[in-house]
């Protein structure tokens, strides 16, 4: 327990004024895992009972026990998150090995099929059959894109890190999505607390990450929605790397159900009609290669929020 006068200098002037107006006499800080999570404010009592001191001691014991319970809950939550990441990493590694072998086996016959279709199409005079051959070539190209995604997923390139300006990366991404945003009437907002947020990263890979996430947000919005991007210095809470930034990409689109959210980073899982289910798996791999963290919060029909933390180095 601390008297108000002992801790008054920790508060700013408006907070000091409020404490005085509320006639707060005792402040009890709530420390959880060496961080101040809150405080209990107590007004002076009017009772002159001799047991008042004992009551305060009992309150102190109860609050200490409450903080221990909160700390245990926080540790349990962190442990569950670590186990989830380990399980996800192992699963991605196994599927990646399988995908690499499959992709190489598919690409060679696929190239032969495409060449044969083009050869047959060149001699075809019937317009309807010619269109059918064109459609077949488009489908072969779509298969080839999926195979390329498999290769990107199974053998991600090591990031070539250099000093990178996050705002410049987002400006490039905004150019790429400008047509989709304009057609849907989506309001795209970007806010950064610093003029030049710089980290050591692979600019091309981060552009792939942000482009994938913003396109997902656009596709989840029917029309006239909103996408907000915020770049702020990374908080130290649950972040053992010095410096860096947190990137928040938030939309008010269709959102996801809880059961969908659990599988969102799983390879080949998708809720899109023509999706491959590899986009977010690749995003997860890139962020992991950069030593960062990524998490997604979403509620069905209310929107989605993606939080990314990237270290400075």
CATH at residue 129: 1.10.287
Question: Are 53 and 22 part of one and the same domain?
Answer: yes
Question: Are 215 and 297 part of one and the same domain?
Answer: yes
d(CA 84, CA 91): 11
- Band the pLDDT of 308: cuts 50, 70, 90: very high
Q: Is the sign of the CA dihedral 29, 33, 35, 38 positive or negative? A: negative
Average pLDDT of the chain to the nearest whole number: 82
pLDDT of 107 strictly over 60 = yes
Single out the residue in 76, 105, 126 at which a domain terminates.
76
Question: Are 128 and 215 part of one and the same domain?
Answer: no
The enclosing H or E element of 206 equals helix 203-220
- Provide the percentage of residues in the chain whose pLDDT is more than 90: 30
Question: Are 245 and 203 part of one and the same domain?
Answer: yes
Are 124 and 163 within 8 A, CB to CB? no
Residue 81 lies in a domain: no
Residue ranges of E strands in the chain? 2-3, 26-32, 35-42, 162-165, 187-192, 198-201, 226-233, 245-251, 293-299, 303-310
Q: How far is CA 35 from CA 3, 42, 63, 243, 255, in A?
A: 20, 21, 15, 18, 33
DSSP annotation string for 123-185 = T---HHHHHHHHHHHHHHHHHHHHHHHHHHHHSPPPP--EEEEHHHHHHHHHHHHHHHHHHHT
Q: How confident is the model at residue 47, as a pLDDT?
A: 47
Task: Find, among 143, 90, 98, the residue nearest to 265 by Cα.
Answer: 90
The total number of structural domains that make up the chain: 3
Residues 6+ apart with CB under 8 A from 296: 261, 264, 304, 305, 306, 307
Single out the residue in 76, 110, 140 at which a domain terminates.
76
Question: Are 205 and 171 part of one and the same domain?
Answer: yes
CATH at residue 212: 3.30.565.10
Question: Are 140 and 183 part of one and the same domain?
Answer: no
Question: Are 10 and 136 part of one and the same domain?
Answer: no
Question: Are 184 and 277 part of one and the same domain?
Answer: yes
d(CA 302, CA 78): 27
Q: Which domain holds residue 71?
A: 2-76
Question: Are 264 and 191 part of one and the same domain?
Answer: yes
Residue 16 lies in a domain: yes
- Band the pLDDT of 4: cuts 50, 70, 90: very low
Q: How far is CA 178 from CA 4, 63, 200, in A?
A: 55, 53, 27
Q: Read off the tokens for 39.
A: 């405080």
Q: How far is CA 141 from CA 85, 106, 134, 147, in A?
A: 34, 12, 11, 10
Q: How confident is the model at residue 277, as a pLDDT?
A: 77
Question: Are 240 and 143 part of one and the same domain?
Answer: no
Residue 82 lies in a domain: no
157 vs 309, more confident:
309
d(CA 153, CA 97): 10
Instruction: Choose the weakest-confidence range: 82-96, 121-135, 206-220.
Output: 82-96
Residue identified by tokens 């108000």 is: 4
- pLDDT tens-digit series, residues 74-99: 788 777 777 776 766 666 666 666 66
Residue identified by tokens 């053992």 is: 240
Single out the residue in 27, 47, 76 at which a domain terminates.
76
Residue 225 lies in a domain: yes
Question: Are 287 and 205 part of one and the same domain?
Answer: yes
Q: How confident is the model at residue 101, as a pLDDT?
A: 67
Residue identified by tokens 């002037």 is: 13
Question: Are 190 and 296 part of one and the same domain?
Answer: yes
Residue 240 lies in a domain: yes
- pLDDT tens-digit series, residues 140-165: 888 887 777 777 666 667 889 999 99
């Amino acid at each position: 327990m601390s008297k108000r006068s002992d801790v008054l200098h920790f508060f700013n002037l408006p907070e000091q004024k409020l404490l005085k107006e509320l006639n707060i006499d005792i402040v009890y800080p709530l420390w959880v895992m060496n961080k101040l999570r809150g405080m209990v404010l107590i007004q002076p009592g009017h009772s002159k009972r001799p047991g008042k001191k004992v009551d305060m001691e009992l309150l102190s014991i109860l609050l200490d026990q409450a903080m221990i319970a909160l700390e245990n809950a926080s540790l349990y939550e962190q442990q569950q998150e670590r186990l989830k990441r380990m399980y996800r990493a192992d699963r991605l590694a196994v599927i990646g090995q399988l995908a690499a072998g499959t992709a190489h086996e598919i690409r060679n016959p696929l190239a032969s099929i495409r060449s044969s279709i083009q050869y047959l199409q060149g001699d075809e005079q019937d317009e309807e059959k010619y269109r059918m051959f064109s459609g077949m070539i488009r489908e072969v190209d779509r298969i080839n894109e999926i195979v390329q995604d498999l290769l990107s997923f199974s053998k991600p390139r090591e990031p070539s890190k250099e000093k990178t300006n996050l705002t410049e990366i987002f400006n490039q991404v905004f150019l790429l999505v400008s047509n989709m945003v304009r057609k849907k009437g989506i309001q795209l907002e970007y806010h950064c607390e610093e003029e030049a947020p710089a980290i050591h990263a692979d600019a091309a890979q981060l552009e792939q990450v942000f482009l994938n996430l913003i396109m997902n947000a656009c596709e989840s919005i029917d029309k006239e929605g909103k996408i907000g991007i915020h770049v702020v210095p990374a908080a130290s809470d649950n972040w053992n790397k010095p410096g860096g930034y947190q990137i928040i990409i938030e939309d008010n689109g269709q959102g996801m159900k809880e059961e969908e959210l659990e599988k969102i980073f799983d390879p080949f899982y998708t809720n899109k009609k023509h999706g491959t289910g590899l986009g977010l798996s690749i995003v997860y791999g890139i962020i992991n290669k950069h030593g960062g963290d990524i998490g997604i919060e979403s509620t069905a029909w209310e929107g989605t929020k993606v939080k990314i933390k990237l270290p400075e180095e």
